[in-house]
Amino acid sequence: MRVFRKSGLAGAGILCLLGAAPVLAQQAGPVVVVAEDSAANSDAIFPLWKSLLGDKKFLPPYGINLVVLDLSGQWDVKDFSAAVNGNELASLNGRADVHPLTYGVRGDVWVLPFLNVFALVGGVKMNIGVVGYDLPLGIGGGLPPEVIRGDVNFNLDFTGYYGGGGFVLMYGYKNFFTSVDYSAVWTHLQSSTSGVEGNELRTDTASFRVGYIAGAVQPYIGGRWVKKIDHFEGTVEGPNGTPVTFAVDLRAPAWNYTAGMHAMVAKHYELIVEAGFGDRTHGLVNLGYRW
């Protein structure tokens, strides 16, 4: 931990920001069902209502995928309160730089030609850097007494796991397609700091895509929305062993923009590569097999 300007009593109150942190959901299912060439079995149960496809070919309905998502972004400090030896602090102005790396497995099935459902599980590695600005850290000498203020900056690492699911809706017209998806993911994080509650987290996400079917490759652009406001509270050890009791809310940036590509290789192997831009940035790679 580093304290800039004058040091003092309640700097470790910022530790409350690090008890747990939001993790965004993984990539929400396949991008498109209509294919230029397909190894789908027309006798398979899914998708139902195959007649809706007309003479179009469709992807094999079942998929298993390995997904890696590397995310970076700044989470807002929405509300903050802390108490050190009964002296209460409030209205912290700060930021939380969140960098999770998630990796996992996703299974999916096209239940209908326009509806895919999926489930996913995996692990999380996370680093969080927090800066608290202009904190009242103590009282100096003089008349009247001077309030000693300063900034606090430090990092912590976390590990954990997640699980959840969702659905994708897709519509294709000629060589164009559009899709929307929704997912809910629950994440459990284990920090190196004891005495902190609130690390059972839920993330709700939705996204839209518009793309072009260029044979076996489908480039697309879109955007992703996230609902993520988390409340954490507990007691941590401050300077010189002083206990700090806190409560804090962190809020993730709501929107970012995406651009990516979906491709089928040798009719069965699926690849998705995607990048996200804005207040949240991410890189995603999805490798899968469909049958």
Residue with tokens 């850290």: 137
From its phi and psi, is residue 86 left (phi > 0), alpha (psi between -120 and 50) or beta?
A: left
For the chain, what's the residue count?
A: 291
**Per-residue pLDDT at 42:** 72
**Per-residue pLDDT at 1:** 39
**Per-residue pLDDT at 18:** 33
Every domain of the chain and the residues it spans: 2-290
Paired strand residues for 276: 258, 282
Q: Of 232, 237, 260, which is closest to residue 77 (Cα–Cα)? A: 232
What is the CA 182 to chain-centroid distance, rounded? 13
What is the CA 186 to chain-centroid distance, rounded? 11
The per-residue pLDDT string of the chain (291 residues; one tens digit each, 9 = 90 and over) reads 333 333 333 333 333 333 333 345 455 556 677 666 777 777 788 899 988 877 777 889 999 999 999 999 888 877 766 666 666 665 556 677 888 899 999 999 999 999 999 999 999 998 877 666 666 656 667 777 776 665 656 666 788 899 999 999 999 888 899 999 999 999 888 877 777 666 667 889 999 999 999 888 999 999 999 988 777 777 766 555 666 677 777 788 899 999 999 999 998 999 999 999 998 899 999 999 999
Model pTM?
0.81
